[in-house]
Amino acid sequence: MTAISFKFLAGRYHATPWGRHVNEGAVEWPPSPWRILRALVATWKRTLPDLPQGRVEPILRALAEPPEFLLPPASTGHSRHFMPWFKKGPDDRTLVFDTFVAVSRESPVWVRWPNASLDEAQREAITCLLRNLNTLGRSESWCEAELANDVGNPDSRLCRPLRGDVPAEHEIVRVLCLDPASAFADDHVVTVTNKTTGRGRNKRTVEERSTMYDPAWNLCMETLQLHRERWSDPPGSRWVPYARPRDCFKIEPKARARQTADRTRIQVVRYALDSTVLPLVTEALPVAEAARRMLMGIHGRLTEQNGVRGRSDVLSGKDQQGQRLTNHRHAYYLPTDEDGDGRLDHLTVYAAGGFGPDERRALDRLRELRMGWGGEDRHPLRLLLLGMGASDEYNPGPLQMSETWESATPYIATHYAKTRGRSRIDLRSSEARAAFLQDDLRAQLAVVRPDLMSEGVLAMTIEPLWDDNRCFKIGD
């Protein structure tokens, strides 16, 4: 026995049965063996052209017999598209139905040939072909195919060639299969011309055979040529009646899973920023403050009771008494420039302790930031929610681990340098200003990271970014 499993990575199988128009809304289920073997030939010639025909042809001939299918639970659906037609002009459109079978991404379609046996070399060859096969059906039917050892699961529905009477709870469907006697012949894909050379007794007629296909099999005949030559059925094929379960498109309702207390904590929320003019990286602090202010307002309106707006310790960074939170329990608002063009394009909101239900509702409703101050008219900054998750699910960007960090905005000292008295600091030179900022930054690190020993803070290398004139700069 030989079996192949197909998983549809997008959860959809797009294919129209032979002889049906796409707008009829008909869908091919199960996938026809004719389509499967043509896909294997296309994958062979596209991705493994050095694989000799002598190794591939015996495999395909062994799979030419009608197989059995184990179908996963599925349902049908369709989308509608107005496609350019150009029949009446450049703006002409025609309605096209895209019908598909919806299946679980994790539930494969099993195809098995009970009487086909492959040796070790043939199994290696077909494994390579299946590894490179990425679509079955139309181009949007992404798939993952592999040679299977164990076949079937309890939820599968068996679909096999009809033998005798139709089993109960089954229906007859026509499936396009190969005709082993003619699928690998060349009588319809080879052009034969007679060429005469010489004169008189030396006159010879030579038969020349030419083809546009490699290999020259009826199986490889292009669909466009089949329509051009008005073939009702492809040469080398045959229709085989199959007994398919009537409930193959029936979805059994499942009991709603009860929510448990061990739900994943939401610690990271990501937004994409959009505006006619995106803010510069130097406006990171105003953008972060606007996000904090907007989220506090949304949360307050959502949790208002008896005219009193609710308050979030995490979003505001303050407790109910208005005291500043410690131990990093507040939310961090981190605008970032992730495409390197000097303008902010993403916003990350992070809280190590996670966000509560009301805070998640507020984060979900954040759509826009108003950046104008004092009546200034500015373009609104729109936010698109990209996702929520735990911190271990999100590694790139401002939350990743690193030994070297470069500030995207200038560092602002937390106090003024004294210009009088014994502790005055002379800031006339660039080196002195850099040393002042380094000392201030080390002091702040010691406060926010008390777990670091003082020796660890002192061992950190803190260097300013200089330009050619030894002046501070923001970056390249």
Computed on alpha carbons and rounded to an integer, the radius of gyration of the chain in Å comes to 34
Distances (CA, A) of 112 to 69, 82, 195, 246, 256: 6, 39, 47, 21, 34
* Token pair of 84 as six digits: 């350019």
The total domain count for the chain is: 3
Give a yes or no: residue 297 inside a domain. Answer: yes
| Choice between 158 and 326, residue whose per-residue pLDDT is larger | 158
Q: Are residues 282 and 141 in the same domain?
A: no
| Choice between 259 and 378, residue whose per-residue pLDDT is larger | 378
Report the run of H or E that residue 84 belongs to, with start and end: strand 74-84
Please identify, among 360, 381, 405, the residue that sits at the C-terminal boundary of a domain.
405
Give a yes or no: residue 253 inside a domain. Answer: no
Please identify, among 366, 383, 405, the residue that sits at the C-terminal boundary of a domain.
405
Q: Are residues 26 and 161 in the same domain?
A: yes
Q: Are residues 287 and 334 in the same domain?
A: yes
Q: Are residues 296 and 350 in the same domain?
A: yes
Q: Are residues 442 and 390 in the same domain?
A: no
Q: Are residues 422 and 474 in the same domain?
A: yes
Q: What is the mean pLDDT of residues 43-51?
A: 94
Is residue 234 scored above 80 in pLDDT?
yes
Q: Are residues 295 and 221 in the same domain?
A: no
Is residue 189 scored above 50 in pLDDT?
yes
Give a yes or no: residue 113 inside a domain. Answer: yes
Report the run of H or E that residue 217 belongs to, with start and end: none
Per-position DSSP letters for 293-320, written without gaps between them: HHHHHHHHHHT-BTTB----HHHHSB-T
Q: What is the mean pLDDT of residues 78-100?
A: 83
Percent of the chain with pLDDT over 90: 45
Q: Are residues 313 and 430 in the same domain?
A: no
Q: Are residues 101 and 9 in the same domain?
A: yes
Give a yes or no: residue 254 inside a domain. Answer: no
Give a yes or no: residue 250 inside a domain. Answer: no
Please identify, among 405, 435, 459, the residue that sits at the C-terminal boundary of a domain.
405
Percent of the chain with pLDDT over 70: 88
Is residue 197 scored above 80 in pLDDT?
no
**What is the C-alpha separation between 8 and 71, in angstroms, rounded?**
12
Q: Are residues 396 and 419 in the same domain?
A: no
Provide the pLDDT confidence category of residue 14 given band limits of 50, 70 and 90. very high
Report the run of H or E that residue 101 belongs to, with start and end: strand 93-103
**What is the C-alpha separation between 427 and 447, in angstroms, rounded?**
25
Give a yes or no: residue 255 inside a domain. Answer: no
Lowest mean pLDDT among 91-95, 158-162, 202-206: 202-206
Give a yes or no: residue 252 inside a domain. Answer: no
| Choice between 469 and 355, residue whose per-residue pLDDT is larger | 355
Q: What pLDDT, on a 0 to 100 scale, did the predictor assign at position 476? A: 45
Q: Are residues 104 and 118 in the same domain?
A: yes
Tell me the residue range of the domain where 118 lies: 2-245
Q: Are residues 25 and 155 in the same domain?
A: yes
Give a yes or no: residue 143 inside a domain. Answer: yes
Is residue 370 scored above 70 in pLDDT?
yes
Q: What is the mean pLDDT of residues 186-211?
A: 75
